[in-house]
Amino acid sequence: MPPVREIPAFTSLIKYIMGNLIDAYSYKLAKYVKKTDNVFYCSRKISYRDYTKRYKLNSHPSDFFSNEDKFHPSKLAYEIWAKDVSDFIIKNKVINNVLHS
């Protein structure tokens, strides 16, 4: 789910309201996926501070947003999202078994 609380172009009120809606939606989605065979959901919240620490990046949270509008993801954000999802796939035993069978 998009990291609405971190988008610099949004006001505090929008971050609060939309962030809470996304949290509720993410919770429901995770519950639904648990009951569904062969469907997976990477439920870890996107946090650029977390990404910076986990992937040992020398970056600031604003580096994850486009310089043009401070809303859309930057190239760095897309690269890290791809890395994070690929790590999720690699570490998921069920997906891994299917890929290697």
pLDDT digits (tens, 9 = 90+) for 51-96: 999 999 999 888 999 999 989 999 999 999 999 999 999 999 888 8
In the chain, DSSP finds a helix count (H) and a strand count (E) of 4, 0
Does 101 have pLDDT greater than 80? no
Statement: residue 46 has pLDDT above 90: no
Question: Residue 13: its pLDDT value, please?
Answer: 97
Q: Which one, of 27, 39, 45, lies nearest residue 84 by Cα? A: 45
| Mean pLDDT calculated for residue range 33-47 | 90
What is residue 19's predicted lDDT score, i.e. its pLDDT? 94
Burial class (CB in 10 A: 0-12, 13-18, 19+), 84: middle
All residues at 6 or more sequence positions from 3 whose CB lies less than 8 Å from its CB, including other chains: 45, 46, 47, 48
Q: What is the pTM assigned to this prediction?
A: 0.79
SS3 65: strand
Q: Which amino acid is at 15?
A: K
Q: What is the mean pLDDT of residues 1-28?
A: 92
For the chain, give the mean pLDDT.
91
